[in-house]
Amino acid sequence: MPEKCLFCRIVSGDIPADIVSEDEEAIVFRDINPQAPSHLLVIPRRHVGSLDDADEATDLGSLMRLAAEVARDEGIAASGYRVVVNTNENGGQTVHHLHLHILGGRLMTWPPG
């Protein structure tokens, strides 16, 4: 685990987070700066820098299924939500530990900024 990775520090409990769900492979917590009424982050426990770094050991399917499950539990599935994976610089990634944003509770616009 990279020593200074913010999300690894949340996984290890060094930094507190509002965790809403967890399993063996992943945790889900509320974004500290929410961009929608519901804004959750799904991250693998194991450090993976970005989607671009995800290898066969990274179970992306399970992360997506967990995102859908959490969206249902959050009550935003029927009205709709968006899953976003910002990747590297042009993608707007600021925390370099793979994460899926789940945004819902309001109408999303397209194209994104």
Judged by CB under 5 A, the residue of 46, 47, 82, 106 near Zn ion is: 47
Catalytic hit among 39, 97, 99, 101: 99
Residue with tokens 């685990």: 1
Residue 45, token pair as written in the block: 């426990």
75 and 41 Cβ atoms separated by less than 8 Å: no
How far apart (Å, rounded) are the C-alpha atoms in residues 47 and 97? 6
* Known catalytic residue at 99: yes
Site membership for ligand AMP, residue 50 (CB under 6 A): no
Site membership for ligand AMP, residue 86 (CB under 6 A): yes
Site membership for Zn ion, residue 99 (CB under 5 A): no
How far apart (Å, rounded) are the C-alpha atoms in residues 98 and 113? 20
Provide the binding-site residues for ligand AMP, judged by CB under 6 A: 6, 15, 17, 29, 31-33, 41, 86, 92-95
